[in-house]
């Protein structure tokens, strides 16, 4: 990447991650987080202080667009247990409730997904994830059986992968949600469902959602469950395609937890 950037006076190292498009760079005693071909949506997220500040964007000789963001010194990703905290709920609520972000993403990406469209994506690959009697098949049939009962709620900006590793905390206790390559416009339950099932004990759902800005009702619970199943099946396909058996096994356990969930249903819907 150095040869494609601005000369040899840059120290650049891969920053890790799944895509190989992220780098840590030092130039003239300044440190940056660089990414290749990020979405133009990054600028809007920076203005809203949802991601670390965007410093500049430049096009290099090979046509790639490089973005540089403020480097967060000693920044830490959240631990799984920290996802239960009110600050996570509040930041996700800020994102989902932002008309400015929704309008900007709609103009830039036009990636808007209804329940039916998400189900169609799952349908394309679900057969390779399990046999007709498998847990995956049961989950897929649940999606089919309940999709028509879901109201098509107003779409919001959804991150698409709210895993705890995508939440970054600075030394000044500033919280950011990073890695927006999968951003979409969809039902807010698309983010919320898998987050709650994965990180928040059932007994804390009501409190957590109130911090987020949502009342927990039977109708909303059913949306959370449907979208959580959908998101997990999509994640399982990604892990399957990349031959990541341990992560696939972890996701299957999460899927079983969602499918066997009765505690919230009994409390809210009976």
Give the whole-angstrom CA distance, residue 67 versus residue 139: 39
Q: Which of 161, 179, 187, 191 is catalytic?
A: 161
Q: What tokens were used for 61?
A: 């000789």
The yes-or-no answer on residue 161 being catalytic is yes
* Residue count (the chain): 270
* DSSP-derived secondary structure letter, 54: E
Q: Which residue has the tokens 């190989």?
A: 20
Q: Where are the beta strands (DSSP E) in the chain?
A: 11-14, 22-27, 30-36, 54-59, 65-70, 76-77, 156-158, 167-169, 175-177, 184-186
Give the whole-angstrom CA distance, residue 126 versus residue 117: 14
Q: Which residues are catalytic?
A: 161
């Amino acid at each position: 990447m150095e040869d494609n950037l601005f000369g040899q006076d840059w120290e650049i190292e891969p920053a890790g991650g799944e895509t190989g498009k992220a780098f840590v760079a030092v130039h003239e005693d300044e440190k940056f987080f660089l990414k290749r071909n990020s979405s133009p949506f990054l600028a809007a997220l920076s203005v809203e202080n949802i991601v670390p500040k965007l410093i500049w964007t430049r096009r290099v000789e090979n046509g790639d667009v490089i973005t540089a963001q403020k480097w967060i010194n000693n920044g830490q990703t959240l631990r799984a247990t920290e996802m239960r905290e009110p600050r996570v709920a509040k930041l996700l609520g800020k994102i989902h409730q932002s008309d400015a972000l929704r309008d900007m993403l709609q103009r830039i990406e036009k990636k808007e997904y209804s329940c039916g469209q998400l189900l169609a994506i799952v349908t394309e690959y679900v057969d390779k994830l399990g046999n007709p009697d498998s847990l995956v098949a049961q989950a897929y049939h649940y999606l089919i059986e309940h999709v028509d009962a879901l109201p098509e709620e107003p779409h919001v900006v959804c991150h698409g992968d709210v895993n705890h590793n995508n939440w970054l905390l600075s030394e000044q206790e500033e919280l950011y949600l990073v890695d927006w390559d999968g951003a979409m416009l969809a039902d807010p339950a698309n983010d919320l469902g898998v987050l709650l099932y994965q990180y928040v004990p059932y007994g804390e759902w009501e409190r957590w959602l109130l911090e987020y800005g949502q009342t927990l009702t039977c109708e909303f619970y059913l949306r959370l469950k449907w979208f959580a199943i959908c998101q997990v099946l999509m994640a399982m396909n990604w892990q399957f395609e990349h031959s990541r058996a341990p992560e696939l096994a972890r996701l299957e356990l999460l899927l079983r937890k969602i499918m066997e969930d009765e505690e919230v249903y009994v409390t809210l819907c009976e």
